[in-house]
Structure 1
Amino acid sequence: MTAGRIISLFFFGALFIGLFSGSGCANIVPPSGGPRDSLPPVAVASSPKDSGTFVKEQKITIVFDEFVELKNANEKIIISPYPVKEPVYEYKLRTVTVRLKDSLLPNTTYNINFGDAIVDLNEGNVLKNFEFSFSTGASIDSNSLSGKIILAETGETDSTMFALLYKKQEDSTVSKEKPMYVARVDAQGNFRFSNLPAGQFYVYALKEEDGDKRYSSPLEQFAFLDSAVTIGATTAPVQLYAFAAEKQKPKMQSTAVDKAKGLIGNANVAAGAFDFLDTFTIAFPKPVRTLDVSKIKLVQDSVQTISNLTIKNDSVRKQIQIINNWKPGSKYQLFLDKGYAADTSGLAVLKVDTLAFRVKAEKEYGSLRIRFTGIDTGSHPVLLFYNNKDLVGGYPFNGKEFYRKLFKPGNYKIAILYDVNNNGVWDAGDYFAKPKRQPELVQPINKDVLVKENWDNELVIDAAASGTATRKQ
């Protein structure tokens, strides 16, 4: 071994010992290379080329300027025309590959919208709404259609819905066949189709759980336009109102019943006070089958027994209602003898009970007057009040002024229901009816209503400033 070789070995050996001596191990610190990369990947090449024509291959390869990966590709990538067979998505190093399983249609422009599926491998920077297009014919279709989807019952939007385009008009098409074009909906309810051919299309919107883009259940949010839209160089935006034709029935929760305690009801009395604007109720876990009103007695101010008391059994709401001409500020005692009620399972009230409460005084309420402009008075407006997103009241009014001498204090959100058929409730649409029926519309008002106790509360609201609820097509 030469002297140089011996010196070299000694040097590297000393260096190795020095690195791992002292504190017992070395602290390995990555080199600082400047600020963090915050830029998304950039496409630098592709096969076929973007916006290429006369394309025949079913494999699309896109190369980026850095290492990338695909996240939830099957959920986030939308290909139009919408494929019958699920494409295959792959990524490796700087390359993303899309393999189409369907045969390519002649003289057709294809659009691949990657959504936010493409991210760089190191920092996770998202390439948002990257689109790639090509044509099997001599030109690229450049027409577009934009629009907005609103939930008819609330006036809100839902970014999990999709806009759909069909060529066929038959009612069963949306249930049996996949759409020709699909567009994603953003948080504001907006959507946009690009690279469309000229011609007539039927526009729908859908929120479905199984991912097949077919309207298969009346529980699904669905929307439709009454007539076809002609796509051309300049096509006006469209607006759709989504509805669920049927509502999900709440699941019955089984609760353990202590038969030794018997049937127990709950009155709508809070902190010993009853809100006389409500109906006095006693609620039960199950509907009441038998009710003995002779075992129910109401006494006012400890001396006066109410003789003209009206008691009703509401089996739908699983409650009994006690209707009385309540005197504000007075005290009451409700005497409930054992056996006054029994439910549909045969469980009966086993104990005598007495409920003492007072009726709120008028000064514990406030008056409320709201003057409106910009309301469609011909569509039977109903003013809806919400507290923490719960509907707490609905009041038909003339569309110009709402007034209540007594109103429960609180901070409310409000909306206008346009009750076209004047039945007092919101009605869903029906796509399969003859003729088809659009849903009734609810217009949220972007202004809080604060009702103060023992106060004359007044405000003016321009409903048009909150957005109109008219149908645009």
Structure 2
Amino acid sequence: MPGILLVNPFFEVLMQKYKIKPINYLPIYIKSKTVSYFCIRMNKDKQDIRTRWGIASKIVVIAVIVYSCASIGRPDGGAIDETPPRFIGSNPVADALNNTRTRIVLQFDEYIKLEGINEKVIVSPPQIQRPEIKPSGKRVIVNLLDSLKENTTYLIDFSDAISDNNEGNPLGNFSFSFSTGNVIDTMIVSGTLLDASNLEPIKGMLVGLHANLADSAFTSLPFDRVSRTDSRGCFSIKGIAPGTYHLFGLMDADQNFIFNQKSEAIAFFDSLVVPRFEERWRQDTMWKDSLTIDTIIERKYTHFLPDQLLLRSFTENYSERYLIKSERLTPNKFTLYFAGKSDTLPALKGFSFDENDAFVIEKTLKNDTIHYWLKDSLLYKQDTLKFALTYLYTDTLSNLVPRTDTLALAAKKIIEKNKEPDFKKKKKEKESEEQPEPEAISFLNINAQVASSMDVYGYISLMFDEPLQSYDFSAVHVRQKVDTLWKDIPFDYEQDSVRLRTFRIYCDWEPEKEYKFQTDSLAFIGIYGLHTDKMEKSFRIKSLNDYGAIFFNVAEVITPAFVELLNERDNVLRKTEVIDGKADFPFLASGKYCARLIEDTNGNGIWDIGNYEEQRQPEKVYYYNQLLELKVMFELEQDWNIKTIELDKQKPDELKKQKPNEDKKKRNTQTRNNR
């Protein structure tokens, strides 16, 4: 049966009839049968119950029963509340002068809540002790724990942290200010902060101003005025006094508003920042209806400048240097693992061996992982190697100083063998004497990476299990199938400058041709006397019909420069130098691509970070502003002026990992509509 709505007048009649004070209740939906039952019980109770308290207790019980049987819901109809809270007053008043109070109470016209206080709310000038900020009904209470500075404008920027308690409508860009002096400062500067390496917007990074123009201010003093970037990397510093400033960005790990840790990401603006304003006019349109304009009104407003400042963030090339661990997994090799980079290798001094020419050393570019291959069998047969290791170490003052440790490295396999019980050792020795196994011929393992279907620009990669004592590439053959015969073709090879056990072989491949890669035995001999066995790999080169190409005509580029071809995940696929304004990428598979250009100031072929002490900015990076969809057998020729589009608008949204926050009001509306 259809339900009816039980409302206040119904209960009021019952209360008056039984001479009972009304009680508070919620509107509820109940079925008509339940109402009839309720009325019958009430008539019966009138005859039986003699006191007001008895009747009241019955009504409470019945109300619980009715509520449990009711269909609870919210009445449909009525306008949805989309109005944010309205600021109606404060103590002290907004923009108060000569204020000395550290407790601020903000009053709103409805109950409010605070979201993301630590991420969104910021006080300027910055507070060393974090302020206490909490909601209380229709109020926000702020307690500033730092002492107030004289003749200073204080600004509490809430961003969109304040919203109404029910629907979550945000009060956007709300801030409150007061002054401890006779003047309230109102100047504003704004801009954008990006990651210098990939133009990614950085959220939650501090951006601050220093009136002290000494370079040391950034590393020794807190900011004078401060703000924080939003999800688009945008910032706006408010409440600034007229003057001249330096502008900085800081990912403040220790929350002291000072760049005092080399691990903190930073940004600095090369030029001085001078806040100013100008009067501008804008047009407001008054409409008669949705189609007809009534009046266009010109209104004057104050616009604050500069408003397009650009900061590029980076982390200086610094990390603490120390020895993480040392290990000797096999008798013939040990490895040292370091934190941080070093330009030099550590020095070893053997206690029971001569360290000169004792090793083949493999290292990484940063010298943070170093492999030592022991060349002498008398050396690697020792159970334990003891030596003094001298290396650069970061002390408590963050300086690199020499440090010497004594290491004793036992091979893991020897340790495991020594841990084996004696009876097991004797059993194995007896079994080997009774049934001696024939010696197996051991070869030096070679890992040849040869794709069965190779790209026309591909190469063959050879990797060995141990460093090589010698190699003979006359015993290596690359053969092409011509008709029914296999013909030797010339090739070039190179040894990797870092990974010494890796070689690459290059050929001028012909599309759609068949090839064989072959090695004779004894072509490669390792430092422990093992040699490679014969090997053969067959493969075919892809057709030109499997490829497309992208050609960039680059304008306004400062050479030297190079372009990196990127996939949809912003990963580098290829790199090419810009020559005469051109960057070409032939032989591409179908897919979506983008590109970024790096102005290679020092010509070393890599992107270099900046350094604040040297006042050196990171090398500039530019993005082609859209994804290119390439199909096979197609060529795309793109004109690319790297200066036409502003830097903060160049990187395509599809590549950005830091997505802009969805408009909160729009999100709340969608949530309500889905109820």
Q: Could you report, residue by residue, the CA deviation over 1:213-252 in whole angstroms, capped at 9, with x for unpaired residues?
A: 3334444432112233223445433222222322887999
- Aligned counterpart in structure 2 of residue 357 of structure 1, from 539, 544, 549: 539
Q: Tell me which residue corresponds to 1:334.
A: 517
* Distance in structure 2 (CA, Å) of the matches to 1:20 and 1:317: 84
- Aligned counterpart in structure 2 of residue 202 of structure 1, from 234, 237, 246: 246
* Distance in structure 1 (CA, Å) of the matches to 2:63 and 2:131: 56
Q: Tell me which residue corresponds to 2:436.
A: none
CA change 1:73–1:350 in 2 (3 A) is farther
Q: Tell me which residue corresponds to 1:442.
A: 621
* Distance in structure 1 (CA, Å) of the matches to 2:130 and 2:63: 58
CA change 1:99–1:468 in 2 (3 A) is closer
In the TM superposition, residue 281 of structure 1 has moved relative to its aligned partner by 2.6
- Aligned counterpart in structure 1 of residue 70 of structure 2, from 27, 31, 55: 27
Matches within 5 A, 1:165-244: 165-233=209-277, 235-237=305-307, 238-244=309-315
Q: Judge which range, 230-239 or 410-419, deviates more.
A: 230-239
| TM-score, with structure 1 as normaliser | 0.80
Q: Tell me which residue corresponds to 1:246.
A: 317
Q: Aligned-pair RMSD on alpha carbons? A: 4.0
Q: Tell me which residue corresponds to 2:91.
A: 47
What letter is aligned with 1:275?
D
Conservation of the 8 A alpha-carbon contact between 2:128 and 2:256 = no
Conservation of the 8 A alpha-carbon contact between 1:87 and 1:101 = yes
In the TM superposition, residue 445 of structure 1 has moved relative to its aligned partner by 1.3
CA change 1:4–1:65 in 2 (3 A) is farther
In the TM superposition, residue 349 of structure 1 has moved relative to its aligned partner by 9.7
What residue ranges of structure 2 are gaps of 5+ in the alignment? 1-45, 279-304, 320-339, 341-365, 370-411, 414-441, 649-675
Q: Could you report, residue by residue, the CA deviation over 1:388-429 in whole angstroms, capped at 9, with x for unpaired residues?
A: 311122222246444466555442101222223333322222
In the TM superposition, residue 352 of structure 1 has moved relative to its aligned partner by 6.9
In the TM superposition, residue 60 of structure 1 has moved relative to its aligned partner by 0.7
CA change 1:102–1:421 in 2 (3 A) is same
In the TM superposition, residue 61 of structure 1 has moved relative to its aligned partner by 0.9
Conservation of the 8 A alpha-carbon contact between 1:377 and 1:399 = no
In the TM superposition, residue 198 of structure 1 has moved relative to its aligned partner by 1.1
* Distance in structure 2 (CA, Å) of the matches to 1:101 and 1:342: 73
Q: Tell me which residue corresponds to 2:284.
A: none
Q: Structure 1 residue 290 and structure 2 residue 468: aligned?
A: yes
Q: Structure 1 residue 391 and structure 2 residue 572: aligned?
A: yes
Q: Tell me which residue corresponds to 1:423.
A: 604
Conservation of the 8 A alpha-carbon contact between 1:145 and 1:192 = yes
* Distance in structure 1 (CA, Å) of the matches to 2:534 and 2:261: 49
Q: Could you report, residue by residue, the CA deviation over 1:30-62 in whole angstroms, capped at 9, with x for unpaired residues?
A: 453745434332222211011111111111111
In the TM superposition, residue 134 of structure 1 has moved relative to its aligned partner by 0.4
In the TM superposition, residue 12 of structure 1 has moved relative to its aligned partner by 7.3
Q: Tell me which residue corresponds to 2:384.
A: none
In the TM superposition, residue 385 of structure 1 has moved relative to its aligned partner by 1.1
Q: Structure 1 residue 277 and structure 2 residue 457: aligned?
A: yes
- Aligned counterpart in structure 2 of residue 116 of structure 1, from 160, 182, 189: 160
Classify the secondary structure of the residue corresponding to 1:322: strand
What letter is aligned with 2:70?
N
* Distance in structure 2 (CA, Å) of the matches to 1:160 and 1:392: 30
How many residues are paired up?
453
In the TM superposition, residue 366 of structure 1 has moved relative to its aligned partner by 3.1
Q: Tell me which residue corresponds to 1:62.
A: 106
Structure that is richer in helix per residue = 2
- Aligned counterpart in structure 1 of residue 631 of structure 2, from 444, 452, 457: 452
In the TM superposition, residue 171 of structure 1 has moved relative to its aligned partner by 3.2
CA change 1:31–1:397 in 2 (3 A) is closer
What letter is aligned with 2:143?
R
Conservation of the 8 A alpha-carbon contact between 1:201 and 1:229 = yes
Larger RCO (CA under 8 A, 6+ residues apart): 1
CA change 1:231–1:357 in 2 (3 A) is same
Q: Could you report, residue by residue, the CA deviation over 1:200-222 in whole angstroms, capped at 9, with x for unpaired residues?
A: 21101123444443334444432
Conservation of the 8 A alpha-carbon contact between 2:124 and 2:156 = yes
Classify the secondary structure of the residue corresponding to 1:246: coil
In the TM superposition, residue 455 of structure 1 has moved relative to its aligned partner by 3.2
Matches within 5 A, 1:115-134: 115-134=159-178
Classify the secondary structure of the residue corresponding to 1:174: helix
* Distance in structure 2 (CA, Å) of the matches to 1:261 and 1:43: 82
In the TM superposition, residue 73 of structure 1 has moved relative to its aligned partner by 2.2
CA change 1:353–1:151 in 2 (3 A) is same
CA change 1:106–1:25 in 2 (3 A) is closer
What residue ranges of structure 1 are gaps of 5+ in the alignment? none
CA change 1:342–1:222 in 2 (3 A) is farther
* Distance in structure 2 (CA, Å) of the matches to 1:342 and 1:42: 82
In the TM superposition, residue 333 of structure 1 has moved relative to its aligned partner by 3.1
Q: Structure 1 residue 157 and structure 2 residue 339: aligned?
A: no
Classify the secondary structure of the residue corresponding to 2:127: coil
CA change 1:340–1:207 in 2 (3 A) is farther
CA change 1:136–1:10 in 2 (3 A) is closer
Conservation of the 8 A alpha-carbon contact between 1:52 and 1:133 = yes
* Distance in structure 1 (CA, Å) of the matches to 2:223 and 2:447: 52
Classify the secondary structure of the residue corresponding to 1:127: coil
* Distance in structure 2 (CA, Å) of the matches to 1:205 and 1:400: 34
Conservation of the 8 A alpha-carbon contact between 1:44 and 1:64 = yes
Q: Judge which range, 443-452 or 361-370, deviates more.
A: 361-370
* Distance in structure 2 (CA, Å) of the matches to 1:178 and 1:116: 25
* Distance in structure 1 (CA, Å) of the matches to 2:572 and 2:167: 45
What letter is aligned with 1:267?
Q
* Distance in structure 1 (CA, Å) of the matches to 2:576 and 2:311: 26
Q: Could you report, residue by residue, the CA deviation over 1:63-84 in whole angstroms, capped at 9, with x for unpaired residues?
A: 2222233334233211001112
What letter is aligned with 2:542?
K
- Aligned counterpart in structure 2 of residue 105 of structure 1, from 134, 137, 149: 149
What letter is aligned with 2:541?
V
* Distance in structure 2 (CA, Å) of the matches to 1:121 and 1:7: 43
Q: Judge which range, 104-113 or 198-207, deviates more.
A: 198-207
In the TM superposition, residue 182 of structure 1 has moved relative to its aligned partner by 1.3
Conservation of the 8 A alpha-carbon contact between 1:297 and 1:305 = no
What letter is aligned with 2:504?
Q
* Distance in structure 2 (CA, Å) of the matches to 1:116 and 1:317: 57
Q: Judge which range, 168-177 or 179-188, deviates more.
A: 168-177
What letter is aligned with 1:385?
L
CA change 1:366–1:93 in 2 (3 A) is closer
In the TM superposition, residue 289 of structure 1 has moved relative to its aligned partner by 3.0
What letter is aligned with 2:136?
K
Q: Could you report, residue by residue, the CA deviation over 1:320-360 in whole angstroms, capped at 9, with x for unpaired residues?
A: 3223333333223334689988999x9x9998764332222
In the TM superposition, residue 451 of structure 1 has moved relative to its aligned partner by 3.6
CA change 1:281–1:112 in 2 (3 A) is same
* Distance in structure 1 (CA, Å) of the matches to 2:250 and 2:503: 41
Q: Judge which range, 28-37 or 141-150, deviates more.
A: 28-37
Conservation of the 8 A alpha-carbon contact between 1:384 and 1:395 = yes
